């Protein structure tokens, strides 16, 4: 019988920690450093270069080179027909993006923050997510909705929400949330190539953080599978699952626990929907204990979905 341990057991330890960026990670021989911002920019650049159907649209993505400089240099390289500055009207340009995807193009729609995606949620949920099902599989909607998600520095409550569980609860959407530069680069490429609508949840506070990357990650053919988690740290006593910025907290918590003689395994979910249940199951069968970490609301979250599986 599995002994499930709630997150409260590490409450005091978690309160003491800060995001772990420079902790040991399970990357293959990685000597080079790349910021998450650079990883996203290079992924966009390479996919736009490889496929003329890919284009970027959103507020300030062109002339200003992106509110967070993710699209730096892309307007100059690909021109205003493929890097489109839009008015401040999320419902408008998200709808145009969905229509373009219907037509066979591959739009990447940037929200300045995912909080603003609430203005466009009808197009995301009722159009993009449901069209494949309602057309009996005849219509694909290859669109990516991307931008910063969750809390940032010095912003209000209406700019601080995590939308992982919101969008992951909707059939028809795939939801990805990268942590490292490897995640950002490989998952964004996978999202752009995917025939279904993908919600790509980044984190503003991670954009400037550097992570080691291998030559394999830097190769233009590099792509990560959707629906596959990554074990960032192997352990035998307790499983900790996390995604996005919370992976850093989980890794730091594992370091603290190690000093107390507890060997924690940290799983970077990467993909929220589909969820890599097999990797989580295998880990918990080994450790017999599970802790989930996320920055969303305490009720009906991603962690609740994971916990439910082990409560049956």
310 φψ region: left (φ > 0), alpha (ψ -120 to 50), beta (else): alpha
Above 70 in pLDDT, residue 43? yes
The residues carrying an active-site annotation are 90, 159
**Residue 178: band (very low, low, confident or very high) from pLDDT cuts 50, 70, 90:** very high
pLDDT digits (tens, 9 = 90+) for 214-261: 999 999 999 999 999 999 999 999 999 999 999 999 999 999 999 999
Of 308, 300, 301, nearest in space to 280 by CA: 308
Comparing 16 with 82, the larger pLDDT belongs to 82
Token duo for residue 136:
């009996």
Supply the pLDDT for residue 311: 67
| Share above pLDDT 90 across residues of the chain, in percent, rounded to a whole number | 85
- 133: its two tokens: 């099902």
The per-residue pLDDT for 245 is: 97
User: What is the arrangement of strands in the sheet containing 238-242, beginning at the earlier edge strand?
Assistant: 230-233, 264-268, 238-242, 290-292
Report the predicted TM-score, pTM, of the whole model to 2 decimal places.
Answer: 0.89
Domains (ranges, CATH) in the chain? 32-218 (3.40.50.970), 230-309 (3.40.50.920)
Flag whether pLDDT at 164 surpasses 80: yes
DSSP 304: H
Closest CA to 184 of 154, 204, 164, 158: 204
310 has pLDDT over 90:
no
Cα distances (Å, whole numbers) of residue 155 to 148, 151, 159: 13, 7, 6
């Amino acid at each position: 019988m599995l002994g499930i341990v709630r997150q409260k057991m590490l409450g005091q330890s978690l309160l003491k920690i800060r995001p772990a960026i420079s902790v040991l990670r399970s990357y293959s021989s990685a000597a080079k450093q790349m910021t998450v911002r650079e990883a996203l920019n290079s992924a966009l650049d390479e996919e736009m270069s490889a496929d003329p159907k890919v284009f970027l649209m959103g507020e300030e993505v062109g002339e200003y080179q992106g509110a967070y400089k993710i699209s730096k240099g892309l307007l100059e390289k690909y021109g205003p027909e493929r890097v489109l500055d839009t008015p401040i009207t999320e419902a408008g340009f998200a709808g145009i993006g969905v229509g373009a995807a219907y037509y066979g193009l591959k739009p990447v729609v940037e929200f300045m923050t995912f909080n603003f995606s609430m203005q466009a949620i009808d197009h995301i949920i009722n159009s993009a997510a449901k069209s494949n099902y309602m057309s009996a599989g005849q219509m694909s909607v290859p669109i990516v909705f991307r931008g910063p998600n969750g809390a940032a520095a010095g912003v209000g409550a209406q700019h601080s929400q995590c939308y992982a569980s919101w969008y992951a609860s909707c059939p028809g959407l795939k939801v990805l949330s990268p942590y490292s530069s490897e995640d950002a680069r490989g998952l964004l490429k996978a999202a752009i190539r995917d025939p279904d609508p993908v919600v790509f949840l980044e984190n503003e506070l991670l954009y400037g953080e550097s992570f080691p990357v291998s030559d394999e990650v830097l190769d233009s053919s590099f792509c990560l599978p959707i629906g596959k988690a990554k074990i960032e740290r192997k352990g035998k006593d307790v499983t900790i699952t996390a995604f996005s910025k919370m992976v850093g907290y989980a890794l730091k918590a594992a370091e603290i626990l190690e000093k107390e003689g507890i060997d924690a395994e940290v799983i970077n979910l990467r993909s929220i929907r589909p969820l890599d249940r097999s990797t989580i199951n295998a880990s918990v069968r080994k450790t017999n204990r599970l802790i989930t970490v996320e920055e969303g609301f305490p009720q009906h979250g991603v962690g609740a979905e994971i916990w439910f599986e082990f409560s049956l």
